[in-house]
Each structure stands twice: as structure tokens, then as C-alpha cells.
């Protein structure tokens, strides 16, 4: 029987971990240690629930409820001088708790501070678009949808951004294999030649390191060369290696192998 | 019979039964001025753009996915393929993020070499920008001149690390190599010649009537739009925001260096052109100050953090424990602590940020690359409407986008 492996996370795993090894943690500071962040957090806490707040590597991290995301961002933009929504990243925790964590990186140029706002949404829960506040959320949310399948409400142009429109699956999910899933194997064959050509062409090999044992059209086999396209699935023909043409070499009339000299002195 | 699943001619350019005069033009993805694989869907009224949809993804290689399946040191050369015009700056952004995560300090000589590499990369990138943008607009001469100077810098980088385009010249924890003997002399020779070269470019462009017509009052990005779209770097500074991460959140030795940040409140193509030119001068100014710093440093190149970073080659070859450590770090990879970090650096294009979510394993749990060009392409959605077709090419030129980092 094949060993069980969790299909919810097919990313590469460490092949060996010492059984006594405990991962250290990046140190966190309390928000009170920084006056600017403490004031920001107080302003947000006055109106919204903040589930968790701490400072990690010089940046404030707050965890809010997903329903408050628009309100918190509006407050941050209009009152707390966070001028830019720098980036949004979804983190796939489906294997652990069936939810996504969304991390929004914010920048305040007036205060020279950076902040991360995090909220977790369940797998099929939609979040409100931040596009009315920051236009950069437009593309960030499209990418989040494209890569993770996080659904966004009230987005002006929700459409895949990096993958083709008719792509199946969301590539950055932990359950999505590195070389693509089965639909990815057939994508180009279906698109270019049609589904009816599947039997003739076969699935696309998406592992760039893969070598096919019996393919003599695309792979040469050093020391065991056979003519191009020879079928070697039933055993290969004996191909003796000949290093010289039978009729001698072009332009060379006479060669006496016994008289030939091996040159060892380069400056001769 | 229509095969819906086959590639078939798509007559989207032809509008037969429409009341209005709107033409939909497919600009790219194979367009010489698209700077790579940009497809723009332009809705046109006569020659005026009324709606623009940039379509990206033609160079998508799934680097974030690859990062989740690679150990940290293994991923570093992959970052070269983001902004391949200035690849050391990507290496640096990633290396710095990991260094913040594992909390190591880099030796001073490595810092100096990194500064040199970063500024040489900035010069290379800006020269490339000048060359290609001028070519797009029709100024072929500038293209040849700027590439000549860029070639010199590429040779310089080749002397350092052996590669011209994808350098991988920075390691997590330092730099792999010390500078070759002739590096500083060659660099100085280049820097001494640069003012004259810059003057040549500006003599050809600044009073050139065609250049001014294509650049002035074209592609004006208001400050609000630039901020809202997450524009950074020269794009933001041209729109009147004085924000340069080298000044505002100084990393490496930038806090010890005296340099100016050019800012313009115009926001048009010409302002961006001027800012790129001035930034090249400032890069030269930085390099002049960094060169003497090199000679005041001791020759350590890599940080000492045996848990995360391999020892020097000498130790590996002579010390048993260093060899074992090295073996584990190469085969299994370093395991940073559990935590998250977002670190931004000022790449030639703008704010290049790396968000790393580490769960204590040798592979990042999530790595998000914040590439400036991505947002500078997004802004075209709001920027292009109202402009004319020829302006589109000039605007794409001055946004200085590179598709390696947009599609990642």
C-alpha cells in the first residue's frame, strides 16, 4: 500500500527534522514600546475590534475581523495618514483550519511607519474590496483571486490577472502541485489542437527535468545512439559506433595509422 | 463548425454593428515598445484612448510558488529573473529580508560591496531605461550611446561575479567574493567619464523639439493617483512626493552617505526623464563616496551565524565542524525562526519588497514579492484614458516597467 500523504499541502517538505528541534520565534515587542504605533492602535481600537496587536521587525501587525477590513482601512487612510496600500498577500491555511489569512501591507509616509493588517477569512467567505480607498487594491485583489481563489465583493473588474482567463485551479494553493495539476497538463493541447487530439498528442510534460526513457526523438542516449525516431520500446537495435566513414575521410587521401605521431609538445 | 476550444481568429478589432465609433485595439503582447510582454486593450475614439486594460501574465513563471519549494539559498538566483535589468537589486532585496528574519548583521566590507553593486545596477538600469525609451520615441542615437556606457558597467559586473545579466552577486549574510584588483580603477574611470556622457545625452535630448513634444505635458500622473496606485521610486518622485527609501528607511550604509533625492511636481514624462537623469548623477556621487570606504574595512565578507550561514571556505576546508554545518545547510537548508517579515528596498524601479512568512521550516511558507513595475503597469488603467495612441508608447517608456518582475 502506498504511504499516506496529505493532499491538502503538496509543497516540498523538509526530509529530515531532528526530533528535539524546536523552531525559534522572531521576537515580538508590545505596541506600547512605540508611541506612534500605540496612538494608531488606540485610534483603531476605539472603533473596531482588534484581535491581536504586536510589533514584529519594526512593523506594527494588527489582526482584525474580516468584516471590518473596509472600515479599518478607511480610518487608516483618512485619519491615520496611511497613504499607500503597498501590497496584499493571501496565505493559504486551508490544510490547518480551512481559511485564508490576508495580509495587507500599509505605508505611512507622513509618519515613516509601516503596518501590516491581517484578517482571516473562511474558504468561501468573500471580503469587501478596498478598491474605493486605494486603487492599488484593484490589481492586488485580482492577483489574490487568481493565485488563491479568495473571493472579493464589489470589485470593479474581477478577472484573473496572471493566469489565462480559462485556467482551472489557483496555482498558489498549497494543494496545487508545483508542476501543475491534471487540467494544466491538457490546457495547451485542448486549446491549440482541440480535445479530440488528446489521444494523439498526450499530456504535456510539465516537469522540465523529466526524461523519457524510450523517446529517441527528443533525447539522445550517449554511447547508445540509435537513428532518430527508432522505436526502442521492444529492446534496442545494436548500433555499433563508427568513428570514421567507411570510405575514408573527405579530402584525406592516404592515412597510415602506424606512421601517425601523437603530439605531446604543444610548442613543437 | 465553430470549435470553441481551438485557437481561432478573434475579430475583436472589427466592430460591424456598433452605433458609436469605438475601436478596440490590441496593443501587444508582441509589440516592440511594450517592453516585454504587455498586452494593452485600448478602447479608442478616433486616436484617443477612452479606456485601457493592461493585460499581463505572459511571462508568469510562478516564482512565488517556486519559492515555497526551494530552500532560501536556492531561491536567491531565481530573484535575478525578476528585474533582469538590475538583477543585483533583487538579490539584495531578498537577502536583506532573510537577514532581517534571521537577525544577522552583515560585515562592513560586504556592505560596501553591496552598495557598489546596487548603485552600479541603478546606473545600468537607468541607462537601459534611457536607451529604450529614446528608441521608442525615435532617438536611435541615444540608444547606441547609452548602451555603450551600459556595456562598460556590465563588463565591470562581469569582472566581479562572472555574469553580465543575472548576477546572483549577493548572498544571504554578505557577498560571495571580494572585489577584483582592477575594479575600483575601472569604476573610477567610468565615473570620471560619466558627466561628459550625460552631457552628450542631454545635449541631444533637452532641446530636441520632438523629444519635448513627446515628453512635456504627456502622461501626467497626479500625486493622488500615484499614491493610490502604489507608485514608488522615480514614478512617485516625479509626481511630487519626496520619498526615497534610501533616505527614509536607510539600509546598509546609505545613512552615512551624502546624496540628494530629485523630486518634481510636474508628474509628466519629462519630469520622469529629468529624475532618471539626476538619479544617475546622484548614483555617481554615492559611488565616489563609497570607494574610499572600501579601503577602511577589514576583509570579512560573510556574517558569522553558524546556525544559518556557512562558514568561510577556509574553515570549511580545515574545520570538521564547519564542514558538517555546511553540509547540513546545503542539503537541508537554513531554518529561519517562525515569524513574518516585510522588508522594502529602493530598487531602480521603485519599492521592491519581500514578504516572507516562515513557519520554521527550510522552505518559506509564503513568499510575496512586491515588484514596483506591477503597480506601474496597473496605473496605466487610469493614466492612459485621454491620451493619444503615440503617447501610449512614450508613457509605457517612462514608466520603466520590466516584465520579469511584473509577472514574476
Q: Which domains does chain A have, with CATH numbers?
A: 28-153 (3.30.460.80)
- Supply the pLDDT for residue B45: 85
Sign of CA dihedral B190, B195, B198, B204: negative
- Mark residue B134 as left, alpha or beta (left: phi above 0; alpha: psi -120 to 50; beta: remaining): alpha
**Contact: A105, B381; criterion CB under 8 Å:** no
Residues of chain B in contact with residue A11, where contact means CB-CB under 8 angstroms, are: 68-69, 363
**Contact: B6, A191; criterion CB under 8 Å:** yes
Nearest to A25 among B56, B69, B338 (CB): B338
Which whole-number Å values give the CA distances from A242 to A108, B271, B378, in the listed order? 73, 68, 61
**Contact: B374, A139; criterion CB under 8 Å:** yes
Report how far residue A68's alpha carbon sits from residue A51's, in angstroms, rounded to the nearest whole number.
12
A-facing residues of B in 262-281 (CB < 8 A) are none
Sign of CA dihedral A262, A264, A265, A266: positive
Q: Under DSSP, is residue B54 helix (H, G, I), strand (E, B) or coil?
A: strand
- Supply the pLDDT for residue B3: 54
Which whole-number Å values give the CA distances from A246 to A99, A224, A227, A254, B3, in the listed order? 71, 20, 18, 13, 54
Does A247 score more than 90 pLDDT?
Answer: no
Find all residues with CB under 8 Å of B73, minimum gap 6, and list them. Answer: B171, B172, B329, B330, B333, B334
Q: What chain B residue is nearest to A82 in terms of C-alpha separation?
A: B227
Give the closest residue to B361 by CA, choosing from B101, B175, B174. Answer: B101
Which whole-number Å values give the CA distances from B185 to B255, B288, B292, B347, in the listed order? 25, 12, 12, 25
- Supply the pLDDT for residue B220: 92
The residue behind cell 580603477 is: B185
Element (H, E) at B88: helix B87-102
**Mean model confidence pLDDT for chain A:** 87
- Supply the pLDDT for residue B221: 93
Is residue B219 within 8 A of residue B394, CB to CB? The reply is yes
- CA A13 to centroid of chain Cα atoms: 15
- Supply the pLDDT for residue B1: 44
Residue-wise pLDDT for A86-126, tens only, equals 999 999 999 889 999 999 999 999 999 999 999 999 998 99
User: Beta strand pairing status for B39-45 and B350-358?
Assistant: unpaired
**Contact: B355, A105; criterion CB under 8 Å:** yes
- Supply the pLDDT for residue B12: 54
Report how far residue B60's alpha carbon sits from residue A180's, in angstroms, rounded to the nearest whole number.
13
* Length of chain A measured in residues: 268
Which whole-number Å values give the CA distances from B2 to B8, B25, B86, in the listed order? 9, 24, 46
Residues of chain B in contact with residue A102, where contact means CB-CB under 8 angstroms, are: none
Q: Is A157 on the interface with B (CB under 8 A)?
A: yes
Interface size, chain A vs chain B, as Cβ–Cβ contacts under 8 Å: 144
The share of chain A scoring above pLDDT 90, in percent, equals 48
Does A268 score more than 90 pLDDT?
Answer: no
Is residue A116 within 8 A of residue A103, CB to CB? The reply is yes
- Kindly report the number of other CB atoms within 10 A of residue B344's CB atom: 26
Nearest to B68 among A11, A28, A190 (CB): A11
ipTM comes to 0.85
**Contact: A56, B375; criterion CB under 8 Å:** no
Report how far residue A154's alpha carbon sits from residue A213's, in angstroms, rounded to the nearest whole number.
52
- Supply the pLDDT for residue A258: 78
Strands (E) in B235-365, as ranges, are 339-347, 350-358
Report how far residue A164's alpha carbon sits from residue B56's, in angstroms, rounded to the nearest whole number.
10
Q: What chain A residue is nearest to B338 in terms of C-alpha separation?
A: A25
Ordered by where they begin, the domains of chain B are: 63-103+106-302+337-407 (1.10.645.10)
Q: What chain A residue is nearest to B339 in terms of C-alpha separation?
A: A26
Nearest to B62 among A84, A171, A190 (CB): A171
* Integer Rg of chain B from CA: 23
Is residue B145 within 8 A of residue B193, CB to CB? The reply is no
Find all residues with CB under 8 Å of B228, minimum gap 6, and list them. Answer: A84, A134, A135, A136
**Contact: B337, A25; criterion CB under 8 Å:** yes
In a mutagenesis test of the A interface, which of B1, B55, B60, B228 is the best target, namely the one with the most A β-carbons within 10 Å? B228
Q: Is A11 on the interface with B (CB under 8 A)?
A: yes
Is residue B120 within 8 A of residue B378, CB to CB? The reply is no
Digit-by-digit pLDDT tens for chain B (408 residues) are: 445 555 555 555 555 555 677 788 888 788 877 777 888 888 888 888 999 999 998 999 999 999 999 999 999 999 999 999 999 999 999 999 999 999 999 999 999 999 999 999 999 999 999 999 999 888 888 999 999 999 999 999 999 999 999 999 999 999 998 999 989 999 999 999 999 999 999 998 988 888 998 888 898 999 999 999 999 999 999 999 999 999 988 998 999 999 999 999 988 999 999 999 999 999 999 999 999 999 999 888 999 898 899 998 888 999 999 999 999 999 999 999 999 999 999 999 999 999 999 998 899 999 999 999 999 999 999 999 999 988 999 999 899 899 999 988
Is residue B372 within 8 A of residue B82, CB to CB? The reply is no
| pLDDT bracket for residue A241 (50, 70, 90) | low
Which whole-number Å values give the CA distances from B151 to A123, B179, B191, B217, in the listed order? 51, 19, 14, 32
**Contact: A172, B66; criterion CB under 8 Å:** no
**Contact: B357, A91; criterion CB under 8 Å:** yes
Q: Is B70 on the interface with A (CB under 8 A)?
A: yes
Give the closest residue to A86 by CA, choosing from B230, B357, B351, B239. Answer: B230
Give the closest residue to A181 by CA, choosing from A172, A166, A169. Answer: A169
Q: Under DSSP, is residue B261 helix (H, G, I), strand (E, B) or coil?
A: coil
- Supply the pLDDT for residue B107: 93
Amino acid at each position: 500500500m502506498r504511504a499516506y500523504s496529505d493532499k491538502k499541502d503538496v509543497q516540498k517538505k523538509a526530509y529530515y527534522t531532528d526530533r528535539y528541534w524546536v523552531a525559534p520565534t522572531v521576537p515580538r515587542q508590545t505596541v506600547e514600546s512605540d508611541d506612534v504605533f500605540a496612538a494608531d492602535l488606540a485610534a483603531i481600537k476605539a472603533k473596531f475590534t482588534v484581535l491581536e496587536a504586536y510589533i514584529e521587525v519594526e512593523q506594527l501587525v494588527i489582526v482584525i475581523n474580516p468584516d471590518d477590513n473596509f472600515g479599518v482601512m478607511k480610518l487608516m487612510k483618512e485619519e491615520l495618514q496611511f497613504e499607500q496600500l503597498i501590497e496584499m498577500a493571501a496565505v493559504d491555511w486551508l490544510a490547518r483550519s480551512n481559511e485564508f489569512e490576508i495580509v495587507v501591507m500599509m505605508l505611512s509616509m507622513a509618519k515613516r511607519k509601516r503596518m501590516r493588517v491581517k484578517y482571516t477569512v473562511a474558504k468561501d467567505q468573500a471580503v469587501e474590496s478596498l478598491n474605493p480607498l486605494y486603487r492599488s487594491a484593484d490589481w492586488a485583489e485580482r492577483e489574490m483571486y487568481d493565485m488563491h481563489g479568495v473571493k472579493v465583493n464589489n470589485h470593479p473588474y474581477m478577472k484573473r490577472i496572471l493566469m489565462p482567463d480559462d485556467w482551472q485551479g489557483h496555482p498558489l494553493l498549497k494543494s496545487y502541485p508545483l508542476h501543475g495539476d491534471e487540467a494544466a497538463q491538457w490546457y495547451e493541447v485542448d486549446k491549440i489542437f482541440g480535445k479530440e487530439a488528446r489521444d494523439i498528442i498526450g499530456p504535456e510534460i510539465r516537469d522540465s527535468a523529466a526524461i523519457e526513457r524510450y523517446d529517441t526523438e527528443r533525447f539522445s542516449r550517449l554511447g547508445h545512439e540509435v537513428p532518430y525516431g527508432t522505436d526502442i520500446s521492444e529492446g534496442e537495435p545494436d548500433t555499433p559506433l563508427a568513428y570514421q566513414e567507411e570510405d575514408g575521410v573527405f579530402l584525406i587521401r592516404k592515412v597510415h595509422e602506424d606512421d601517425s605521431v601523437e603530439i605531446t609538445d604543444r610548442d613543437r | 463548425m465553430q470549435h470553441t476550444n481551438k485557437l481561432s481568429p478573434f475579430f475583436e478589432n472589427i466592430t460591424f454593428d456598433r452605433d458609436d465609433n469605438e475601436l478596440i485595439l490590441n496593443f501587444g503582447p508582441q509589440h516592440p515598445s511594450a517592453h516585454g510582454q504587455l498586452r494593452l486593450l485600448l478602447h479608442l475614439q478616433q486616436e484617443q484612448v477612452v479606456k485601457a486594460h493592461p493585460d499581463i501574465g505572459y511571462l508568469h513563471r510562478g516564482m512565488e510558488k517556486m519559492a515555497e519549494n526551494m530552500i532560501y539559498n536556492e531561491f536567491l538566483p531565481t530573484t535575478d529573473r525578476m528585474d533582469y535589468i538590475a538583477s543585483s537589486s533583487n538579490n539584495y532585496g531578498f537577502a536583506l529580508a532573510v537577514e532581517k528574519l534571521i537577525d544577522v548583521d552583515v560585515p562592513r566590507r560586504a556592505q560596501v560591496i553591496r552598495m557598489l553593486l546596487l548603485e552600479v545596477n541603478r546606473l545600468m538600469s537607468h541607462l537601459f531605461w534611457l536607451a529604450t525609451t529614446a528608441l521608442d520615441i525615435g532617438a536611435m542615437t541615444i540608444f547606441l550611446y547609452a548602451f555603450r556606457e551600459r556595456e562598460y558597467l556590465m563588463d565591470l559586473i562581469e569582472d566581479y561575479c562572472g555574469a553580465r545579466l543575472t548576477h546572483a552577486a549577493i548572498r544571504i549574510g554578505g557577498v560571495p567574493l571580494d572585489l577584483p584588483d582592477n575594479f575600483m580603477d575601472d569604476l573610477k574611470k567610468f565615473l570620471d567619464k560619466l558627466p561628459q556622457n550625460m552631457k552628450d545625452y542631454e545635449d541631444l535630448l533637452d532641446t530636441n523639439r520632438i523629444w519635448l513634444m513627446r515628453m512635456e505635458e504627456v502622461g501626467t500622473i497626479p500625486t493622488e493617483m500615484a499614491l493610490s496606485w502604489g507608485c514608488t521610486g522615480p514614478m512617485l518622485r516625479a509626481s511630487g512626493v519626496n520619498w526615497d527609501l534610501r533616505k527614509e528607511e536607510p539600509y546598509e550604509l546609505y545613512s552615512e552617505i551624502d546624496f540628494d533625492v530629485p523630486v518634481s511636481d510636474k508628474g509628466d514624462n519629462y519630469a520622469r526623464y529629468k529624475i532618471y537623469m539626476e538619479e544617475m548623477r546622484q548614483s555617481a556621487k554615492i559611488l565616489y563616496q563609497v570607494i574610499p570606504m572600501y579601503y577602511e574595512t577589514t576583509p570579512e565578507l560573510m556574517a558569522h551565524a553558524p546556525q544559518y550561514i556557512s562558514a568561510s571556505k577556509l574553515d570549511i576546508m580545515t574545520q570538521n565542524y564547519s564542514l558538517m554545518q555546511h553540509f547540513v545547510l546545503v542539503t537541508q537548508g537554513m531554518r529561519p525562526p517562525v515569524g513574518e517579515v516585510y522588508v522594502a528596498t529602493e530598487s531602480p524601479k521603485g519599492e521592491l519588497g519581500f514578504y516572507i512568512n516562515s513557519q520554521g521550516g527550510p522552505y518559506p511558507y509564503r513568499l510575496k514579492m512586491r515588484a514596483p513595475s506591477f503597480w506601474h503597469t496597473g496605473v496605466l488603467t487610469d493614466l492612459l484614458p485621454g491620451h493619444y495612441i503615440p503617447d501610449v508608447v512614450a508613457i509605457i517608456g517612462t514608466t520603466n516597467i520590466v516584465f520579469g518582475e511584473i509577472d514574476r
